[in-house]
């Protein structure tokens, strides 16, 4: 007879609504990954400028920064599922616009306009989407669900770039990749509509009086300031990925350093997710973390070291190996952070805190891409990547000194009672 406390690696997958949500995210993410690769390749082919690649991140970051006061409050006061559905419609429209511009060889300004629309839609989808799993699962399944959501995301990040690279190489056009991204968004909407939310706290009615958007966001900021473990984990992610991200420059490495073309770029884009998928599946089958803080800091430090090796590599296979290592280590960080956002934040605050997390994550990914493009333009891609990796290691050391609470963190489960299911 099994122990009552035996770990169930498929705990979250036993819930139908979570399976629908997970599958929809997987399909849409495959399309988004294809689109990201296609945009990077097309812009670099047309401009030959690393700065043009960096601008992709900046354009998509601005909506996340400026709309954060609205998006978090909206996710806490309105139907999160409907917010995600509406956001997907915006993402689909932007994908179709990119396809039309690619076929007509439209102006670069219009391409960046479509990317801005994607950034707006993603800004609204982020807080609502990150909080939605808590409405279809009991709290004891949160950590397991984070592993499976990370697994799905990494599987998409493997399939999307690889498929996108093959499509571009075969058709000599990015338009089919953009069109398939739109199809993925529509399929996500179809899978999301039958999802039923069973676990949620009461929240104000949409028309009831409430604080302003700015005050609402301020409440989320105060919540994080009073919880140094959450704040330090987000800060670590912000600066580590801001400095250590090499993904934006992969088209440069593929074309000018490794000389592997669009198909090789697809494999370079997919390599981090190959490593991350393996680790995510491993984490789903292991018991919850017992030394989560140490695991997080070691993973981010290893991320920085692997970034340095990748930047110095002249070998396609060594580069693939280092990118796989980057994904493996980043996956550990993602699972820990995502679990903390669900277990240590009450339901009526999840939207606002997720909006702030979106600013942190968006800043690290998108602004980091802009930073990589600018530094590569000035000092070259190799120096840009190697310097960023060294900076990541230094950030880990600084966070360990400023927030010893994170270093000593053990379990990810918050204290208190789990939320109770609502009636169907």
Buried-state track 256-272, b at ≥16 Cβ within 10 A, e below 16: ebbebebebbbbbbbbb
In the structure encoding, which two tokens stand for residue 88, read together?
């997907």
The maximal CA–CA distance of the chain, rounded, in angstroms, is: 66
Q: At residue 149, does pLDDT exceed 90? A: no
Whether 203 and 419 have beta carbons less than 8 Å apart is answered as: no
Task: Tell me how far apart the alpha carbons of residues 295 and 24 are, in angstroms, rounded to a whole number.
Answer: 30
Task: Please give the share of the chain, as a percent, with pLDDT higher than 70.
Answer: 84
Ramachandran region of residue 416, left (φ > 0), alpha (ψ -120 to 50) or beta? left
Give the range among 151-165, 313-327, 328-342, 359-373 with minimum mean pLDDT.
Answer: 359-373
Nearest Cα to Cα of residue 276 among 130, 157, 143: 157
What are the start-end ranges of the H helices in 78-107?
Answer: 80-104
Buried-state track 312-328, b at ≥16 Cβ within 10 A, e below 16: ebeebeebbbbbbbbbb
pLDDT tens digits for 249-265?
Answer: 888 888 888 888 777 88
Q: What is the pLDDT of residue 61?
A: 77
Task: Tell me how far apart the alpha carbons of residues 238 and 221 are, in angstroms, rounded to a whole number.
Answer: 15
In the structure encoding, which two tokens stand for residue 89, read together?
């419609």
Question: Confidence class of residue 4 from pLDDT cuts 50, 70 and 90?
Answer: very low
CATH topology of domain 12-196+215-407: Growth Hormone; Chain: A; (1.20.1250)
In the structure encoding, which two tokens stand for residue 301, read together?
């430090």
For residues 367 and 165, the model is more confident at 165
pLDDT average, residue stretch 307-322: 90
CA dist 156 → 123, 181, 184, 282, 369 (Å): 20, 12, 11, 17, 20
Q: What is the pLDDT of residue 417?
A: 38
For 161, other C-beta atoms within 10 Å of its C-beta total: 29
Q: At residue 99, does pLDDT exceed 60? A: yes
Task: Tell me how far apart the alpha carbons of residues 82 and 89 are, in angstroms, rounded to a whole number.
Answer: 11
Task: Tell me how far apart the alpha carbons of residues 419 and 203 are, in angstroms, rounded to a whole number.
Answer: 14
Cα Rg of the chain, angstroms: 21
Q: What angle do CA 111, 117, 122 make, to 5 degrees?
A: 125
């Amino acid at each position: 007879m099994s122990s009552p406390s035996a770990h169930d690696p498929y705990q979250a997958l036993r819930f139908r609504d979570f399976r629908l949500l997970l599958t929809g995210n997987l399909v849409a993410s495959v399309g988004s990954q294809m689109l990201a690769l296609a945009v990077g390749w097309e812009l670099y082919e047309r401009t030959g400028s690393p700065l043009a690649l960096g601008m992709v991140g900046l354009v998509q970051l601005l909506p996340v920064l400026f709309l954060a006061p609205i998006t978090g409050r909206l996710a806490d006061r309105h139907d999160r599922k409907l917010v995600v559905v509406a956001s997907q419609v915006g993402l689909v429209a932007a994908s179709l616009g990119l396809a039309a511009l690619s076929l007509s060889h439209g102006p670069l300004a219009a391409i960046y306009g479509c990317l801005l629309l994607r950034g707006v839609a993603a800004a609204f989808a982020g807080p609502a989407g990150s909080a939605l799993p808590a409405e279809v699962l009991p709290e004891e399944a949160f950590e397991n669900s984070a592993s499976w959501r990370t697994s799905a995301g990494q599987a998409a990040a493997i399939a999307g770039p690889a498929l996108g690279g093959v499509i571009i190489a075969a058709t000599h056009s990015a338009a089919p990749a953009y069109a398939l991204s739109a199809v993925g968004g529509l399929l996500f909407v179809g899978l999301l509509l039958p999802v039923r939310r069973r676990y949620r706290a009461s929240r104000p009615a949409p028309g009831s009086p409430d604080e302003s958007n700015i005050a609402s966001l301020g409440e989320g900021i105060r919540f994080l300031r009073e919880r140094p473990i959450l704040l330090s984990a987000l800060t670590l992610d912000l600066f580590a990925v801001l400095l250590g991200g090499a993904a934006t420059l992969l088209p440069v490495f593929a074309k000018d350093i490794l000389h592997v073309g669009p198909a090789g770029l697809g494999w370079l884009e997919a390599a981090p997710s190959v490593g991350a998928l393996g680790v995510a599946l491993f984490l789903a089958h292991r018991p919850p973390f017992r030394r989560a803080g140490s695991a997080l800091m070691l993973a981010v430090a290893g991320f920085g070291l692997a970034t340095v090796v990748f930047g110095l590599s002249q070998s396609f296979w060594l580069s693939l190996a280092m990118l796989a290592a980057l994904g493996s280590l980043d996956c550990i960080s993602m699972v820990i952070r995502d679990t903390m956002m669900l277990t240590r934040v009450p339901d009526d605050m999840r939207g606002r805190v997720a909006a702030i997390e979106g600013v942190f994550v968006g800043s690290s990914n998108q602004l980091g891409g802009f930073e990589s493009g600018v530094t590569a333009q000035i000092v070259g891609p190799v120096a840009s990547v190697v310097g960023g990796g060294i900076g990541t290691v230094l950030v880990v050391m600084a966070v360990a000194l400023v927030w010893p609470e994170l270093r000593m963190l053990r379990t990810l489960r918050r204290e208190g009672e789990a939320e109770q299911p609502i009636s169907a």
